[in-house]
Structure 1
Amino acid sequence: MASNTPVALITGAGKRVGAALARAFHQDGFNLVIHCLHSRAEADALAEELNQHRPDSARVLQADLNDLSQVATLAQQTLAQWHRLDLLINNASRFYPTPVGDIDQAAWHDLVGSNMMAPLLLSQALAPTLAEHKGSIINMVDVHARSPLKGHTLYCMAKAALEMMTKSLALELAPRVRVNAIAPGAILWPAQGENESGQQAVLAQVPLGRLGELDEISNTARFLTHHATYLTGQVIAVDGGRSLAPLQGA
């Protein structure tokens, strides 16, 4: 039997932006399905933290989003938790350079799989239950979906495809499911790190002159979910104005 409590699935929610989104929507009263791959320890710790605030309100599912069968299983297991879904946030993403000359099948499979294929197939699999509950989908794209980042052709291509997917699914799933996207700018430095001169070069391109905060992403997702009920097919750049000028560097 379906619960009356709204449920959100957030992919890549063990840490960083995904964990911030999980905490925000849990605070808003959602039950959380926390997806992870390599960050199982962090995801389990996050679920324990949330369950201490509200018992049995967060569960962890582990899946490789590059594996078609595991994507299908993730959708099935998500519905098995509370028998409903109100919000899907496609946040999981792989990011690393693929200079021309080094692009191979493994990189294609990894970057296209995590950034484009899995969001599409999860959205397709979960669309019926989202429609039943007049839910929504939020895709995490990137400012580099529109302005390319040198040396990252595959990543930029995949994020550009995810942006178009957002608009296309908004048409296909209307009127019962809204589909929007958030394009973060400089919110967190890449996990592999960025030297100080590189950081300063990026911040020099941000009109607001600072790194963004995690809650600026989660508050935008909350806006799209709770308040922007007449918005669909839109991409909101949360980038301090960086996309107003051509992007350079990382």
Structure 2
Amino acid sequence: MPSNDRLKTVFITGAGKRLGRAMALYFGKMGWNVGVHFSSSYDGANQVVKMIDQIGEITNGQRGIALRADVRSKAQLESAFDACTRHFGAPPDVLVNNAGIFPPPAPISKITRASWDEVFSVNVAGEFVAAQLFSAIAPENARIINISSLGGLEVWNNRLPYNVSKSAVIHLTKALARELAPKISVNCICPGAISMPNEPSVSDASMIAPARIPMQRHGSAEDVCEAVYFFATCTQYITGQILTVDGGYHDAR
């Protein structure tokens, strides 16, 4: 649980499903208030909020709030931050930039300008705008944690827009870390092959066989959540860092 007198608050984009949902519940279990941002996952986000509220009823009183916004819209994101601040009585302490899209594979000849722009408007511009808005209201010792991907560190066949966008998130992290110091630390998580329970293998995990990973397994949502929570609670002196959560796969290649 947060150690100061008031409960700390985390604002997580894309928190209505998959890794974002897991992060929201993890922070809730650790005693944090959670701003559960979503774009289209209305039912999922509200279910997460209900679960966090139920946890809070028997622990420290932490709560959640569902916040709808298109990350491509600065006005909508600003309204979401305002609603989160009003609901909890203080601005969020931590921003987790998790919202992103993983488009279907396509050769370069099939990539349109519209599809390219869509990926970058969500995966890169969305993270920048959220960080920009958060930095204007963040308290001292605030944190930003950007979610990139193993795909930002290496090249995958027919995944050009995704690879380049996630690489941009890594450089965005380093630039923000310099720009926002010393008030805010900014770090980045690059998940590798992460298997989500009760979901088909449609993400990064489907590309890498467990036998090729030194740890001999795909990662879990818990693995990523623990890495995110580390950056949310560690010394603020750690900033501008890129942490790969991939069971050793990238460095062992």
TM-fit CA distance, 1:140: 0.5
Question: Following the alignment from structure 1 to structure 2, what is the Cα–Cα distance between the partners of residues 40 and 93?
Answer: 16
- The answer (yes or no) to whether the contact 2:141–2:236 under 8 Å persists in 1 is no
1:108 alignment partner in structure 2: 116
TM-score of the aligned structures, taking structure 1 as reference length? 0.88
Q: CA deviation at 1:102?
A: 1.7
What are the Cα deviations for residues 205-238 of structure 1, in whole angstroms up to 9, with x where unaligned? 2111101111111111111121243210001000
Offset of residue 17 of structure 1: 0.9
Partner residue of 1:142?
149
- State the shift of 1:244 in Å: 1.3
Alignment of 1:46-125 (within 5 A): 46-54=48-56, 57-82=63-88, 83-96=90-103, 97-125=105-133
Counterparts of 2:127 and 2:158, CA distance in 1 = 24
| Alpha-carbon distance between aligned partners in 2 of 1:201 and 1:128, rounded to the nearest angstrom | 40
| More displaced stretch, 31-40 vs 181-190 | 181-190
Alpha-carbon spacing, 1:226–1:107, altered in 2? closer, same or farther (3 Å): same
Distance 1:239 1:41, change over 3 A: same
Do the aligned residues in 2 keep the contact of 1:116 with 1:158 (CA within 8 Å)?
A: yes
CA distance in 2, matches of 1:189, 1:46: 16
* 1:128 corresponds to: 136
Bigger mean CA deviation after superposition, 59-68 or 4-13: 59-68
| CA displacement at 1:134 relative to structure 2 | 1.4
Is contact 1:166–1:180 with CA below 8 Å preserved after alignment? Answer: yes
C-alpha distance in structure 2 between counterparts of 1:48 and 1:202, whole Å: 36
Q: Which residue of 2 aligns with 1:172?
A: 179
- Aligned CA-pair RMSD: 2.3
**Counterparts of 1:34 and 1:118 in 2: how far apart (Å)?**
16
Secondary structure at 2:158 match in 1: coil
Matched, 1:5 2:13: no
Within 2, Cα distance between the matches of 1:85 and 1:65? 17
Show the counterpart of 1:224. 231
Distance 1:238 1:201 in 2: 14
Q: Distance in 2 between matches of 1:228 and 1:99?
A: 43
Unaligned runs of 5+ in 1: none
The equivalent residue for 1:182 is 189
C-alpha distance in structure 1 between counterparts of 2:106 and 2:207, whole Å: 23
Q: CA 1:193–1:230 in 2, change beyond 3 Å: closer, same or farther?
A: same
What is the aligned length? 241
Deviation of residue 68 (structure 1)?
A: 3.6
Helix, strand or coil: the match of 2:108?
coil
The question of 1:238 aligning with 2:235 is answered: no
Identity of aligned residues (%): 29
Name the TM-score, length of structure 2 as normaliser: 0.87
